[in-house]
Chain A
């Protein structure tokens, strides 16, 4: 479990995170959602220690990450895997070398065992026969999958995904979303996903934290989103007419009646 307690972060005069608290549930997919510039990436970077919060605390299983020294933080970081927005694969290394990098750095396994583990995780993300390819030779979706493989190769306890669907087509986005969800449940990882993709919210999210201009605006489950009366959240999630209709169809499924006294025939038209 990861606890975020009253985190504040500013860059110069600009307050980016303003007193945000949340609890990321263990063994589940936790989503941080919000418009661009709402502070979700900064919050995630505070959680993994890439940014130092100005105030507040991050706790991993009750231990204060913010108060730890460098060595203690390193130990926690060894339990963290992260998928970056641009995948952040090492350009000069092949797919196999990229995925093997954490193993080379932190294990004393023989090469054969490392290669077996690399093939195992590459198979898990449905990537075969790409071991000798360089990142420049891969598509966006393949890069993301290599990024996930590298993130899980050391069996982490925590997985952070920063905008896993950015730059991907809807079909590939769905593949990545499902993969993240499957891996979370399969390995019992605490996953935190940063996204503004509506499909991701409905597909993978268990706990959802909605941020607006650096503040926590709403939190709940993805099922509760459908019934939320929060205007900002509704404007963000159900921005188009199509999504509004989808929401109302879902409400109809869940409650058996249409919201706002709308007629189902109006929606079909």
Chain B
């Protein structure tokens, strides 16, 4: 029964946040603030993860593709497709579910417990619109950008690893990248990025917004937000792949 109550409350939260802003300028300021919090705050971890995931992909693909009949440039194709289709959107978003999701849930949870959300409501401000909507919109804008950065850096990391280890010369890697490239794969990665961004921001906001209790419950809500977001990301990943590929 709890799951149905949670789903109902989640949908009510989403519908409740659609209302006319009391002051568009304040909402814009909050949106920009959230873009900075979600985007700038996550760039570092995204850069590190992306470079290493590309590098590891190159080395491990080369290790498995030891055959005189397969050209070395195929390694670049495998790295490219793996990074664009799976690693950049899914792996990065799972990491962002931890980084961004826990931050959103704990921030809103703390505001709920310390009555800051009640204070907004008393002022006549729709707290869902002011607190939740800018976070979701900011995530929808910023997370796909982070996924694009992750894709570019992942492929660059693979190229760098191929060059440093001598497995794939840069010219061969570049040639492999261009072979049989389908732009739809980038579009598909963006579909995933938008879906995952919505899951991360809305699920985390839900668990934070409806916290009851004290500091312990904020921690629990934060953990639940990350776990549920990760499960839903993996589920959505499968559904999108089954439907669109």
User: B114 contacts which chain A residues (CB < 8 A)?
Assistant: 86, 88, 91
Is the C-beta of A48 less than 8 angstroms from some C-beta in chain B? yes
Smallest beta-carbon distance B1→chain A, Å: 14
A77 x B23 contact (CB < 8 A): no
Distance (whole angstroms) from the CB of A21 to the closest CB of chain B = 23
CB neighbours (8 Å) of A82 from chain B are: 119, 122
User: Whose C-beta in chain A lies nearest to the C-beta of B33?
Assistant: A92
State the Cβ distance, A93 to closest chain B Cβ, in Å.
Answer: 10
Q: Which residues of chain A (114-162) have a CB below 8 Å from chain B? A: 160
In the complex, the chain B residue whose C-beta lies closest to that of A78 is: B124
Which residues on the A side are within 8 Å of B22 (C-beta)?
105-106
| A86: contacting residue among B25, B115, B125, CB under 8 A | B115
Q: Are B123 and A88 in contact (CB under 8 A)?
A: no
B121 interface residue (CB < 8 Å to A): yes
B window 100-114: CB within 8 A of A: 110, 114
Contacts of A160 in B (CB 8 A): 122
Please determine whether B119 and A105 come into contact, CB atoms closer than 8 angstroms. Answer: no
In whole Å, how far is A45's beta carbon from the nearest beta carbon of chain B? 8
Tell me which residues from 142 to 168 in chain B have a Cβ below 8 Å from any Cβ of chain A: none
Q: Which residues of B contact A50 (CB under 8 A)?
A: 118, 121-122
Are the CB atoms of B26 and A105 closer together than 8 Å? Answer: yes
A77 touches B122 (CB 8 A): yes
A227 within 8 A of B: no
CB distance from B48 to the nearest CB of A (A): 27
Query: Whole-angstrom distance between the alpha carbons of A160 and B121 in the complex?
Result: 14
Q: Are B122 and A80 in contact (CB under 8 A)?
A: yes
- Residues of chain B within 8 A (CB-CB) of A45 are 118
With A104-B23, A105-B26, A106-B23 known as contacts, the answer to whether A88 contacts B115 (CB < 8 A) is: yes
User: When chains A and B are docked, how far (Å) is the Cα of A106 from the Cα of B130?
Assistant: 14
* B116 interface contact, C-beta 8 A: yes
Q: Encode contact with B along A92-106: 1 for CB under 8 Å, 0 otherwise.
A: 000000000110111
Kindly provide the distance from the CB of A158 to the nearest chain B CB, expressed in whole angstroms.
Answer: 10
Interface of A is mostly: mixed
Contact B23 A84 (CB under 8 A): no
**In the complex, which residues of chain A have a beta carbon less than 8 angstroms from the beta carbon of B25?**
104
A-facing mask of B12-53, CB < 8 A → 1, else 0? 000000000011011000000000000000000000000000
Quote the shortest CB–CB distance from B13 to chain A (angstroms).
15
A85 on the B face (CB < 8 A): yes
**A228 is an interface residue with CB less than 8 A from chain B:** no
- Cβ A105 vs Cβ B123 within 8 A: yes
Q: Within the complex, which residue of B23, B116, B124, B125 is in contact with A88, where a contact is CB–CB below 8 Å?
A: B116
Report how far A78 CA is from B49 CA in the complex, Å.
48
Report Cα–Cα, A80/B114, bound state, in Å: 19
Q: In the bound complex, what is the Cα–Cα distance between A101 and B22 (angstroms)?
A: 12
Report yes or no: A48 in contact with B124, Cβ–Cβ below 8 A.
no
Cβ–Cβ contact A75 & B23, under 8 A: no
A74 CB-CB contact with B under 8 Å: yes
Residues of B within 8 Å of A73, CB to CB, are 124
Question: Using Cβ atoms and an 8 Å threshold, which residues of chain B touch A81?
Answer: 122
Q: Assuming the A-B contacts A105-B23, A106-B22, are A74 and B119 also in contact, with contact meaning beta carbons closer than 8 angstroms in the complex?
A: no
Residue of B nearest to A160 (CB): B122
Please indicate the chain A residues that have their CB under 8 angstroms from the CB of B118 in the complex: 45, 50, 84, 88
Interface residue? A187 (CB, 8 A): no
Q: Are A77 and B123 in contact (CB under 8 A)?
A: yes
| A76 nearest CB neighbor, chain B only | B124
Among B114, B123, B125: residue with most chain A CB under 10 A: B123
Known: A77-B124, A84-B119, A105-B22. 18 other contacts (CB 8 A): A45-B118, A49-B121, A77-B121, A77-B122, A77-B123, A80-B124, A84-B115, A84-B118, A85-B115, A86-B114, A88-B119, A102-B123, A105-B23, A105-B26, A105-B125, A106-B22, A106-B124, A160-B122
Nearest 10 interchain pairs by C-beta:
A77-B124, A88-B115, A88-B119, A74-B124, A82-B122, A84-B115, A78-B124, A105-B23, A88-B116, A105-B22
